[in-house]
Chain A
Amino acid sequence: MEATIMQKLKILADSAKYDVSCSSSGASRYNNGRMGNAHMAGICHSWGADGRCISLLKVLFTNKCEYDCEYCVNRRSNDFPRASFEPEELARLTVEFYRRNYIEGLFLSSAVEISPDHTAEKILESLELLRYKYGFAGYIHAKIIPGVSPEILHRIGLVADRLSVNIELPSSKSLGELAPQKKVKQIFEPMRQITNTLIEHKSLVGPGTMFKGQKLNTPENYLGTPTTGFANADGQSEGTAGRGKPAAGPETSVGRADEAVKYTSETARYSGPALPEFWDQVSETLPAPKKGAFAAAGQTTQMIIGAGGESDKSILTTSENLYHAFKMKRVYYSAYIPAVKSPKLPDLGTPVPLAREHRIYQADWLLRFYGFTVSELFQDGSTDLDPDLDPKVTWAIRNLDAFPIEINTASYEQLMRIPGIGHTSAMRIIRQRRYAAVRFDDLKKIGVVLKRAKYFILCCGRYYGDRKFEPETIRNSILQMEEGLQMSMFDQGGLSLGTTAGSVSALETAAKQSSAGALGTAAKQNSAVALGTARVQEATPLSGKAAAI
Chain B
Amino acid sequence: MKDYIYDGTFEGLLNCIYHHYYTDRANGIYTEDCYQANLLCGYQRVETDEQKAQRVYDAIEDKISSYDLRSVYKVFLSGNPDKEMIILRYVVLGFRKGSSVSSLHGNSIVNDFQSVLKKVGAETERMLQFVRFSVMEGGILYAEVEPEHDVLELIHTHFCDRFRNDPFIIRDVGRNKAMIAYQKHWYISEFGDDQVPMVSMEEAEYRRLWKTFFDNIAIKQRTNPRCQRNFMPERYWKHLTEMTELPPQHAWLTK
- Interchain CA distance A45-B132 in the complex, whole Å: 9
Most buried by A among B129, B166, B231: B129
Contact (A101, B106) CB under 8 Å given A17-B219, A51-B231: no
Structural contact, B216 and A31, CB atoms closer than 8 A: no
Interface size class for chain A?
A: 35 or more
Q: Is A542 an interface residue (CB 8 A)?
A: no
Contacting residues of chain B (113-148) with chain A, CB-CB under 8 angstroms: 125, 128-135, 141, 143
Structural contact, A18 and B219, CB atoms closer than 8 A: yes
The residues of B that contact A215 with a CB separation of less than 8 Å are: none
Distance between A348 CB and nearest chain B CB, rounded to angstroms: 11
- Interchain CA distance A335-B224 in the complex, whole Å: 15
Q: Is A361 an interface residue (CB 8 A)?
A: no
Q: Is A280 an interface residue (CB 8 A)?
A: no
Q: Is A245 an interface residue (CB 8 A)?
A: no
The residues of A that contact B158 with a CB separation of less than 8 Å are: 39
Most buried by B among A13, A49, A59, A101: A101
Structural contact, B106 and A439, CB atoms closer than 8 A: yes
Contacts between chains A and B (CB distance < 8 A), count: 152
Which of A97, A354, A436, A443 lies in contact with B210, CB distance below 8 A?
A97
Structural contact, A100 and B162, CB atoms closer than 8 A: no
Most buried by A among B141, B166, B219: B219
Contacting residues of chain A (405-458) with chain B, CB-CB under 8 angstroms: 428, 431-432, 434-436, 438-439, 441-443, 445-446
Task: Bits for A1-36, please: 1 = Cβ < 8 Å to B, else 0.
Answer: 000011001100110111000000000001101011
Structural contact, B214 and A46, CB atoms closer than 8 A: yes
Which of B133, B212, B219 lies in contact with A101, CB distance below 8 A?
B133
Q: Is B218 an interface residue (CB 8 A)?
A: yes
Structural contact, B219 and A50, CB atoms closer than 8 A: yes
Q: Is A210 an interface residue (CB 8 A)?
A: no
Task: Bits for B216-246, please: 1 = Cβ < 8 Å to A, else 0.
Answer: 1111111111111011100000001110000
Task: Bits for A71-100, please: 1 = Cβ < 8 Å to B, else 0.
Answer: 000000000000000000000010011011
The residues of A that contact B44 with a CB separation of less than 8 Å are: none
Which of A17, A36, A59, A434 lies in contact with B162, CB distance below 8 A?
A36
Q: Is the interface of B mostly helix, strand, loop or mixed?
A: helix
The residues of A that contact B143 with a CB separation of less than 8 Å are: 101
Q: Is B100 an interface residue (CB 8 A)?
A: yes
Contacting residues of chain A (28-80) with chain B, CB-CB under 8 angstroms: 30-31, 33, 35-37, 39, 43-54, 57-59
Closest to A32 in B: B164
Q: Is A479 an interface residue (CB 8 A)?
A: no
Which of A44, A100, A352 lies in contact with B206, CB distance below 8 A?
A100
Contact (A9, B218) CB under 8 Å given A33-B164, A99-B166: no
The residues of A that contact B131 with a CB separation of less than 8 Å are: 101
Q: Is A464 an interface residue (CB 8 A)?
A: no
- Interchain CA distance A206-B170 in the complex, whole Å: 38
Structural contact, B213 and A44, CB atoms closer than 8 A: no
Most buried by A among B134, B210, B222, B232: B222
- Interchain CA distance A14-B214 in the complex, whole Å: 10
Structural contact, B103 and A432, CB atoms closer than 8 A: yes
The residues of B that contact A443 with a CB separation of less than 8 Å are: 106
Contact (A435, B231) CB under 8 Å given A31-B164, A99-B163: no
Chain A residues proximal to chain B, CB less than 8 Å: 5-6, 9-10, 13-14, 16-18, 30-31, 33, 35-37, 39, 43-54, 57-59, 93, 96-97, 99-102, 335, 337, 352, 354, 428, 431-432, 434-436, 438-439, 441-443, 445-446
15 examples of A-B residue contacts, CB within 8 angstroms: A16-B217, A17-B217, A36-B162, A46-B242, A53-B231, A54-B217, A58-B217, A97-B210, A99-B163, A100-B134, A100-B206, A435-B100, A435-B104, A436-B104, A446-B106
Additional A-B contact list (19), CB under 8 Å, known A39-B158, A49-B225: A6-B209, A17-B217, A37-B162, A46-B129, A47-B227, A50-B224, A52-B219, A53-B231, A99-B163, A100-B135, A100-B210, A100-B241, A101-B132, A101-B133, A428-B103, A435-B104, A436-B104, A439-B106, A445-B108
